[in-house]
Structure formats: structure tokens, C-alpha cells
Amino acid sequence: MKLFEFAPTRSIRVRWTLQELEVDFEPVTVNLRAGEHRRPAFLEVNPAGKLPALVDGEVVLTESVAIVLYLAEKYPEKGFVPADPGQRAQLNRWLLFTATELEQPLWRITRHTRLYPEARRLPGEVLLAREDFTVMAEVLEKHMHGRQFVVGSNATVADFVLGYTLDWANELHLLEGFPQLLAHMERMYARPHAPLRIAEAFRRIDAPVN
């Protein structure tokens, strides 16, 4: 099993799941800064040129949420995806909520503050995205009141996906006023198999090589 990754990206979700599952995998770093995601070798794996990507025998998967679901279903004995259909539906609900209602505003902010050339950045879009995130974060804040996990009484892939997404939001200073979400993020990253936080992943990439 190979995980094509770049440390600070949504690759973290897949690495997190693999580490929680305690299964062997081969990490393959694809340096986005060096443009390796646009080279023919990687485009054969993912023609979209995006990370993460997972190769497991004949199975080639992209999209972080699809990958973590595949892994959880491949190893059901670990309990990271519910067996009950109702709980499973709730898992899918919150995975989709995280990937659409929370993640998309974060992408808009990141594009218009860091990724796009300065001439193409729209400050108004950043303000709108912050507002959109805040409204949806309030929904999840209420849901998490009195809960340790997003779904049920045990950690699932919904918690790993959300944990990374909240860390991203925290890097953008969007979690002030959301104590439940902050607490969930901290609980998840305190787990023994949790991956690096986004800030630490960036620090290691930027550290000078001796």
C-alpha cells in the first residue's frame, strides 16, 4: 500500500487513518512546491494532479474522504466505520458536512490569501468565506455539545477528517468562540497515533537541511 502525500495537506487525513489502523504502508512524498504533482509519473496516479492518492494493489483512489472510508471498510474490526446503517448514515452526513460546509470556505480563504497571485486575490471573498464558515461551525458546535465523538461513542474516520479540518480552521484563526470544536480538535490530536499538526508539518518542510 502506497500513500502519495505532502505533509501539510489533506494527506494528513489519510496518514492519520492509516496510523490509527496500524497497518503498514509506504509513504511517497510528492513535493507540491517543486511541482512534482504535475509531473507525468504522478499524473499517471492522479490525472487531477492533487494529493492525497492511495495505491493498494489494483485499487487506486484519490479524494481524502473516499480514501479514509475505503480504509475503514477494509479493516472493519477496528471500528472506525459504524456497522449500524443509521450510524453509518450519520457518519456520511458529517463527513460530507465537513468536506463541503467547512472545508470549502477554508479553501476560498487560503486561495485568496496565499495561493492565487496577488493580482487575482479578492479580499471580499475572504470576508464572505469567513462568514460562511462561522455559520456552519455554529451548527457543528451545537452538535458536539456533550459529545466526545462526532458519531456514536467511539472515534471514527469522521473524527479524523474533522480533526484535520479544525486544525486548518485554527490556523486561520476561525475557532475563537467555538469551545466544543477546539476541545474536539485537541482530543483528537492527543491520540497516540495522531499525525503532525499542520503548523509543525510546515515547520519541518521549511527547516534548513544540515
Predicted confidence (pLDDT) per residue in 51-86, tens digit: 999 999 999 999 999 999 999 999 999 999 999 999
Instruction: Give residue 207's pLDDT.
Output: 73
Predicted confidence (pLDDT) per residue in 127-180, tens digit: 999 999 999 999 999 999 999 999 999 999 999 999 999 999 999 999 999 999
Round the average pLDDT of the chain to a whole number and report it: 97
Cβ-in-10-Å burial (0-12, 13-18, 19+) of 98 comes to buried
Q: Which of 21, 9, 4 is nearest to 70 (CA)?
A: 21
The model's pTM: 0.95
Is pLDDT above 70 for 210?
no
Is pLDDT above 60 for 209?
no
